Amino acid sequence: MPTRPATRSLARTPRPVFHKKGLTYFWVLNDRCDMAELEPQLKAFAADPNVTAVCLHPRPGLLLPYGGTEWFDFIRALCHRCREEGLDVWLYDEDPYPSGAAGGRIVAEHPEFCAREINLFEYDPKAMGDKSIFGFPTGNLLWCGLVNPETGEHVDLTPRVGMLRRQWRIWERWDSRNFYPQTPLYHFQRADTRESEFAVTVPEIPAGMKLVAFVARHTSYESCWGALHDTLNPECTKLFLELTHERYLETVGDMFGKEIKAIFTDEPKCMSFMPWTGAMPAEFRRKFGYDLGPRLIDLFSNLPNDRACLTRLHYRQYIGQRFEESWLKPVSKWCHDHGLFLVGHISPEDDPIEQSFYLGNLFPLFKYFDLAGIDLIIPAVGDHRHPLISVGVTAAVANAQQNNLMGVMSESGACAGDDATAEGFGRQLYWQTVMGMTSPVVHCAYSSVRGPRAYEYPPNYGPNSPLWPGMKKVQAELARLQEVTHGARAVAPVAILWTIRSFNMIETDWQKDPTGLRASTVNLLAACLDHQVGTHFLDEQVLWTAPLIKGELVLGQARYRHLLIPDCLVLHEKTIARLEELRAKGFDVVFTGLLPARQQGEKRLAPASLGSFKRESAKAVAARLPRVIEIPGDARDIRCTAWQKAGKTRRLIINLREKTFSAKVEGKTLKLAPGKALIV
């Protein structure tokens, strides 16, 4: 079997696309997995030349015990039938998602591998019956003490914490026969205390200080397994690979790299906004030079002082790098070592606030995949009503181009409801394809819709669905558009700096975002797209080393002549130094909003001075940037991208409006029906 490296150099030439043009389907295995019932669906998939592969996906309703010998025997039989029909297969690594729990077996048998999160408990004398005792729930005690959130002054009371039981249960007439059966009855009173808690005697609390405790407890993130797995623990990842990937290797390893092309991993990430793992205290101290315990209070505040801001930056950096090393890198390496591509996605891709909470930063993680992956689970396109969902596909395309990946994968189609149409789904797929998505995965083709299965993220797009004839038309149209993007270089001279560091530094309401930082990033991207400007995102760390060649920043296939920076609160000192260097060489660097007040060094924060840089509003700078196509007047919600391949440049354009759009373009009348994509 061929081997593939877990990571690729940014200078590596683009790799070939590994499957046909069209659609890959999540083929949902959610019933008894009777081969006779599956056979007509298999033949329908195989008969359509624009079905690129099926991904064998266990989901709710599965009645064949997952992970046992019967399951793997079934997978072998199904894969062999796919091979006989000439149908490519992707394996799915979980039941159902997020990946890493082996169908819940890991958390059922190994409670030490359950994901934990940091919980803050604060002493409130008004809520206490006995004000002399500070009691709080048990778990893994991290730190307890007095702390001044403003100054960081603290008194460590952790060694004083003990156990209490204060919940009384009283029996007025206890039955003695509970102790001595078949003896005369004696009644007596008794009582006992229950419900263990951590507790510490309340000391004198000086003005400005709080009495707090931090406990790591099982994450509150919703799970079909009752508990989630610790993706920050490499031993948990090792067990996951043994229970899933190694078993697939034993079962169908002879098909790896041939009929079985890839393994799909779905939504692995840190399983909480405030994840914790056992190795964190010692590693954090070695990495950043201080104990996290007394500074845990900084994670739950939005205090603007340097100490609190730096703690939040370091914590988000730590969880991102720990997830990369403990989970994603081993999984990627296993797939590549065994001749398989790693596909899938790590959410959230669109929202920088949630991304900061769960991952620190998604951008360094894309390179471990062979297709940069995203997920789109609402029936919408990135128009002026939904500007946020343009972020994910733009980020994925940028990373695919910069890292020389084979393309961009999007899991799409869920949450469209039972009144969805193939035509409506096609509009979403065409838009993503115009943006640069090369490999759509349909969520889902359900093998069974018996009973509640019909309600599990409808609709059903598969061969046993009334949508199937329409999906065949969508597949054929997609294949035509994909001919432009597959293996091509995106013409995108404009990069927007991915200012995730600013989100890492704050603790904010992710639904409302009172800071306005998210809106600044989203609105800047929307302004560029509405002016048909070829636009990517660019991560800070990549900017540090990207070579400037003949006036262009060169990263893989990407070439940038303009760098735009939305509202931000902090940049790394290496970023600021690079911006100064680029500006001195005449490179177009523009701040479109709030300039950062701070710069981050390795050990501290310092004031940043960037007053001499160019500043323009998002709309003003978007209006002057080079366009992929010149459209006069208001071209909002008209998307156009350009692609170079074999010495030829072609453009894709789509109308996201509800009505037909007409304009005089390049001496000709351009007429675009709603939701239709053209090659121009």
Q: What CATH code is carried by the domain that includes residue 579? A: 3.40.50
- The residue behind tokens 């920050």 is 232
Same domain, yes or no, for 544 and 577? yes
Same domain, yes or no, for 546 and 652? no
Whether the pLDDT of residue 16 is over 80: the answer is: no
Alpha helix segments (H runs only) across 120-204: none
Decide if 463 contacts 445 (C-beta within 8 A). yes
Residue 319, SS3?
helix
Q: Is 299 among the domain residues? A: no
pLDDT of residue 438: 96
Residue 74, SS3?
helix
Q: Is 295 among the domain residues? A: no
Distance (Å, rounded) from C-alpha 256 to C-alpha 271?
A: 30
What one-letter code names the amino acid at 3? Answer: T
Q: Is 633 among the domain residues? A: no
pLDDT of residue 222: 84
pLDDT of residue 104: 98
Whether the pLDDT of residue 590 is over 60: the answer is: yes
Distance (Å, rounded) from C-alpha 374 to C-alpha 82?
A: 26
Same domain, yes or no, for 28 and 67? yes
Same domain, yes or no, for 383 and 257? yes
Q: Is 547 among the domain residues? A: yes
What pLDDT band is residue 129 in, cutting at 50, 70 and 90?
A: confident
- Select from 578, 591, 571, 401 the least CA-distant residue to 496: 591
Same domain, yes or no, for 191 and 263? no
Q: Which of 453, 484, 515 is the last residue of a domain?
A: 484
pLDDT of residue 18: 59
pLDDT of residue 178: 86
Q: Is 260 among the domain residues? A: yes
Q: Which residue segment(s) compose the domain that 128 sits in?
A: 116-218
What pLDDT band is residue 8 in, cutting at 50, 70 and 90?
A: very low
Region 158-171: what's the mean pLDDT? 96
Tens digit of pLDDT for each residue in 408-431?
Answer: 999 999 999 989 999 999 999 999
What one-letter code names the amino acid at 650? Answer: R
What pLDDT band is residue 3 in, cutting at 50, 70 and 90?
A: very low
Please, what is the average pLDDT of the chain?
95
pLDDT of residue 17: 52
Whether the pLDDT of residue 597 is over 70: the answer is: yes
What pLDDT band is residue 13 in, cutting at 50, 70 and 90?
A: very low
Query: Which are the contacts of 583, defined by CB distance < 8 A and separation ≥ 6?
Result: 589, 613
Same domain, yes or no, for 102 and 237? yes
Same domain, yes or no, for 530 and 402? no
Distance (Å, rounded) from C-alpha 441 to C-alpha 81?
A: 21
Distance (Å, rounded) from C-alpha 413 to C-alpha 334?
A: 29
Whether the pLDDT of residue 226 is over 50: the answer is: yes
Region 521-541: what's the mean pLDDT? 98
Residue 424: both structure tokens together: 């409506």
Question: Between the CA atoms of 39, 43, 45 and 47, what dihedral angle is there, to the nearest 10 degrees?
Answer: 180
Q: Is 307 among the domain residues? A: no
Region 617-640: what's the mean pLDDT? 97
Query: Which are the contacts of 577, defined by CB distance < 8 A and separation ≥ 6?
Result: none
Residue 299, SS3?
helix
pLDDT of residue 19: 57
- Select from 348, 322, 326, 116 the least CA-distant residue to 240: 326
Domain total of the chain: 4
Same domain, yes or no, for 105 and 122? no
Same domain, yes or no, for 94 and 108? yes
Residue 628, SS3?
coil
Residue 392, SS3?
helix
Question: Between the CA atoms of 389, 395, 398 and 404, what dihedral angle is there, to the nearest 10 degrees?
Answer: -120
pLDDT of residue 565: 98
Whether the pLDDT of residue 6 is over 50: the answer is: no
Same domain, yes or no, for 347 and 332? yes
Q: Is 87 among the domain residues? A: yes
User: Which CATH number covers residue 50?
Assistant: 3.20.20.80
Q: Which of 191, 218, 245 is the last residue of a domain?
A: 218
Residue 362: both structure tokens together: 């998604």
Whether the pLDDT of residue 313 is over 80: the answer is: yes
Whether the pLDDT of residue 220 is over 90: the answer is: no
What pLDDT band is residue 14 in, cutting at 50, 70 and 90?
A: very low
Tens digit of pLDDT for each residue in 494-525?
Answer: 999 999 999 999 999 999 999 999 999 999 99
Decide if 296 contacts 214 (C-beta within 8 A). yes
Region 123-137: what's the mean pLDDT? 93
Tens digit of pLDDT for each residue in 358-403?
Answer: 999 999 999 999 999 999 999 999 999 999 999 999 999 999 999 9
Q: Look up residue 16 and give its DSSP letter.
A: P
Tens digit of pLDDT for each residue in 239-297?
Answer: 999 999 999 999 999 999 999 999 999 999 999 999 999 999 999 999 999 999 999 99
Q: The sheet that has 489-490: what strands, in order across it? A: 489-490, 638-645, 648-655, 677-679
Query: Which are the contacts of 379, defined by CB distance < 8 A and separation ≥ 6?
Result: 415, 416, 417, 420, 424, 425, 428
- Select from 235, 309, 319 the least CA-distant residue to 276: 319
Q: Is 472 among the domain residues? A: yes
The number of beta carbons lying within 10 Å of the beta carbon of residue 646 is 6
Region 609-614: what's the mean pLDDT? 87
Same domain, yes or no, for 141 and 197? yes
Same domain, yes or no, for 247 and 100? yes
Q: Which of 624, 649, 670 is the last residue of a domain?
A: 624
